[in-house]
A and B are shown apart, each in its own frame.
Chain A
Amino acid sequence: MKMIQCVSCFKQLCVGGGHQDKDFCPMHVHPEVFDDAEKVYAEDSETRLMAKNAAIMESRGYIVWPRLKDIIEFSKSMKYNKIAVLFCPDLWREAKKTCTILSENGFTVVSRVCGIGKSNPQPPDEFMSEVNEFSPDIVINAGLCVPFEAQVLKLSKALVTTFIARDKKLNNAPALAVYTSDKWRDWAKEVYRDKLGLK
C-alpha cells in the first residue's frame, strides 16, 4: 500500500483549511484520525497547553529569536523549573555554554554526558532511569547521536525537546547536507534565473 506523502503536494491547501482529493493526502485517506487528534487536544490538558504556548512563542519571536531563546521562553510559559541537558562528549564545550545560559535565565539545570564511548559504557535504560530519578520537567537533547537518541528519548518520563542535532561531519548543522546537495543547487539556479531575469 502507498503511504501518505505530503512531499508530493505542491498546493498545500491545508494552510487555508482545504485538502486535495488524491491518495497521498492524509486528510483524504485518513479523515478519522483528525477526530482522534481533536479528542486528544480536548482531553489531554498538557498537550493543549503546549499547543497554545508553542503558537504564542512562535508568534512572539518569529524569525528573530534563536532556538535556545525559544526553549527558554517556552519553558517559562509552561512554568518549568528543572531542566536536564543530555549531551555527547564531542560537544562538551557547547553543553557547558548551554547550561550557563539556561541557569542565568533562572532554571535549575542538570546535565548528563552520554554513556556510549565511556571506558565502562552505559546502556540506554540505565542512563535514562538515572535521569528520570532527578525528575526534570523538560529534557533537552543537546547533541546525541542517532542510535542513542532513538533508544533513549522514548524512555524519558518528562517532555523532550531538541536543541542541537549532532552532526560530526557538518559541524552540528545537519541541514547543510541538504543545502550543499546537487539537487538543491539546481533548484537555486532556477530560482535565481527567474529572479535576476537571466536566460
Chain B
Amino acid sequence: MPCASCQSRTCFTGSGEMPAECPERHREKFKSQKSTNGFVEYAAKIRGKEIRRLDELVEYADFMGYKKIGLAACIGLHDELRVISGFLQNAGFEVGSVMCKTGSLKKKSVGVPTRYRMTSETGYSVGVIACNPVAQALLLNKEKTDINCIIGLCVGHDSSFMKHSRAPVVTLIAKDRSNGHNPASILYNFYGDNFFSRRPNPQGAFKYNSKYIKPIDVLRLIRNKMRS
C-alpha cells in the first residue's frame, strides 16, 4: 500500500488511471455489512471545515452525544491542561483529568537501568518516577468516560494508554519537546532535513552529553559563577 508515493490520486479526483498496486482494486475483499449511521457523511463534512482541532473534538462529541471527556496529560503540560480543561468545561462537558506521574511508579520497578534514571543522557533532570499510562487508562475506565484525549504523552506511553483504554482515544496535542509541540515542523525546514540526513560530529555532541563532562567544564562553570 504505497499511498504516500501515489501520483495519480484517482480515488480522490475520480479521473485518470489507477496505478497497478493500488489498494482500491481490492476493496471488495474487505466489504463489511455494518451500517455506520451516517458517520461517513458526517466525517467528510468535518474534514473539509477549517476549524481548530479542539473545536473538531467538541463537534464530534456533540454528534455522538458524549457527556464525559477524560484528559490524560503529561506532567510538563499542566498549564496547557488547565486551559483545555477550562475550554471543555465551558463547552458543557464533564471533564476528568489524570497526570502521567500518578501512582508514583518507580523507574527501577519497570527495569530501567541506573544510567537512564535521575539525569537524562542529554544532561537534564528527569527524575526517578516513571510515567504510568496504564494507571491513567484504568482510572479513566473507572470514571466511565465516553472519550479520552491525550495531551502530550510521549511515544511509548501513548500507545500503551491507547491499548488499555476502553473508550475511543483522540490525540489533542502530540508532544514534541524540541519543537514546541509542533512535530510536523521538522518536515518543512532545512534543519529538519539535516537532523535526519547527517551524523553529528561526536566531538561537538559530547558537550550536550552529561557522560562526557570533563573536570575543566566544572572549573569553567565555577569561574563563570564567581565572575557574575
Residues B169 and A153 in contact, CB atoms below 8 Å apart: yes
CB nearest to B63 among chain A residues = A147
Q: A31-47 CB contact bits vs B (8 Å, 1 = yes)?
A: 00110111011000001
Residues A97 and B187 in contact, CB atoms below 8 Å apart: yes
Residues B99 and A14 in contact, CB atoms below 8 Å apart: yes
Q: Whole-angstrom distance from the CB of B194 to the nearest CB of chain A? A: 12
- Complex CA gap A105/B197 in Å reads 10
Q: A145 to chain B: which residues have CB within 8 Å? A: 43, 46-47, 56
Q: A56 to chain B: which residues have CB within 8 Å? A: 112-113, 116
Q: B75 to chain A: which residues have CB within 8 Å? A: 12, 15
- Complex CA gap A167/B154 in Å reads 19
The answer, yes or no, to whether B60 is at the interface (CB within 8 Å) is yes
Residues A64 and B96 in contact, CB atoms below 8 Å apart: no
Residues B1 and A37 in contact, CB atoms below 8 Å apart: no
The contact of A174 among B43, B54, B179, by CB within 8 Å, is: B54
Residues B40 and A53 in contact, CB atoms below 8 Å apart: no
Interface magnitude class on chain B? 35 or more
Q: B105 to chain A: which residues have CB within 8 Å? A: 37-38, 41
Interface magnitude class on chain A? 35 or more
Q: A141-167 CB contact bits vs B (8 Å, 1 = yes)?
A: 101011111110110000111111111
The contact of B160 among A5, A50, A148, by CB within 8 Å, is: A50
Decide: A146 near B101, CB < 8 A? Known: A62-B126, A104-B196, A173-B184: no
Residues B97 and A154 in contact, CB atoms below 8 Å apart: no
- Complex CA gap A116/B131 in Å reads 35
The contact of B11 among A19, A69, A120, A124, by CB within 8 Å, is: A120
Residues B1 and A123 in contact, CB atoms below 8 Å apart: no
Decide: A51 near B171, CB < 8 A? Known: A120-B11, A130-B23: no
Residues A112 and B168 in contact, CB atoms below 8 Å apart: no
Q: Whole-angstrom distance from the CB of B175 to the nearest CB of chain A? A: 7
The answer, yes or no, to whether A198 is at the interface (CB within 8 Å) is no
- Complex CA gap A14/B132 in Å reads 11
The contact of B103 among A14, A62, A159, by CB within 8 Å, is: A14
Residues A121 and B160 in contact, CB atoms below 8 Å apart: no
Given pairs A41-B134, A59-B117, A111-B3, 6 additional interface contacts (CB within 8 A)? A7-B95, A7-B97, A37-B132, A54-B160, A87-B3, A162-B174
